[in-house]
């Protein structure tokens, strides 16, 4: 096959490895989030059953459900970035000229990237500092709970980079057209 037959595959820099990685991470995080929500459901059924049917409330169910929900929310943030479905206030950027709208979009992605970098850094510090402290009713270290912060921040960084790369490529293709 000639270079003219597939110009994107030969001439343009490609984010294919990053796209494959984020697609795999998407499948993984979606599966983990589903498993976490199933676990929350099971824990809450235990809580209700033991409290009302057996009149023997369990002390750990609410806390465990909360920690599972924290993990699900943080891991789910990456998928929201991938689908670009975060809540946005777009009444200003929608009224801007096309070029200015792109600049605003790039600035938002840049600020998001800086925020996620800071979140990963501070989350790693918090996770390391809380390794010796255990949760109240569930015998796990707080670091396991806090690990959701830096891990999800790294996943969101990768996803933000891919979203930014796609936006740059789209702008480049529109400029050539």
Confirm whether 177 is domain-assigned. no
C-alpha–C-alpha distance, residues 137 and 132, integer Å: 15
Total number of domains constituting the chain: 1
What's the predicted TM-score (pTM) here? 0.79
> Is 90 exceeded by the pLDDT of residue 69?
yes
What's the mean pLDDT in 144-159?
A: 95
pLDDT band at 100 (very low <50, low <70, confident <90, very high): confident
Q: Which domain holds residue 68?
A: 16-172
Confirm whether 139 is domain-assigned. yes
C-alpha–C-alpha distance, residues 108 and 87, integer Å: 13
Confirm whether 41 is domain-assigned. yes
Higher pLDDT pick, 122 / 166? 122
Confirm whether 144 is domain-assigned. yes
Instruction: Give Dmax over CA atoms of the chain in angstroms.
Output: 75
> Is 60 exceeded by the pLDDT of residue 150?
yes
Confirm whether 58 is domain-assigned. yes
Confirm whether 1 is domain-assigned. no
Structural contact between residues 110 and 144, judged by C-beta atoms closer than 8 angstroms? no
> Is 70 exceeded by the pLDDT of residue 64?
yes
């Amino acid at each position: 096959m000639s270079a003219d037959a597939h110009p994107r595959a030969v001439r343009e820099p490609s984010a294919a490895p990053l796209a494959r990685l984020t697609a795999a991470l998407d499948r993984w995080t979606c599966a983990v989030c589903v498993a976490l929500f199933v676990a929350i459901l099971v824990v809450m059924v235990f809580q209700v059953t033991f409290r009302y049917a057996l009149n023997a409330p369990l002390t750990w169910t609410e806390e465990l459900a909360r920690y599972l929900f924290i993990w699900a929310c943080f891991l789910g943030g990456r998928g929201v970035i991938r689908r670009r479905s975060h809540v946005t206030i777009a009444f200003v950027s929608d009224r801007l000229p096309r070029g200015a709208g792109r600049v605003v979009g790039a600035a938002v992605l840049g600020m998001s990237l800086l925020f996620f970098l800071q979140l990963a850094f501070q989350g790693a510090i918090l996770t390391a500092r809380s390794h010796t402290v255990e949760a109240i009713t569930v015998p796990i270290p707080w670091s396991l709970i806090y690990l959701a912060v830096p891990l999800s921040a790294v996943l969101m960084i990768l996803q933000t980079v891919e979203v930014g790369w796609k936006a740059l490529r789209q702008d480049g293709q529109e400029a050539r057209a």
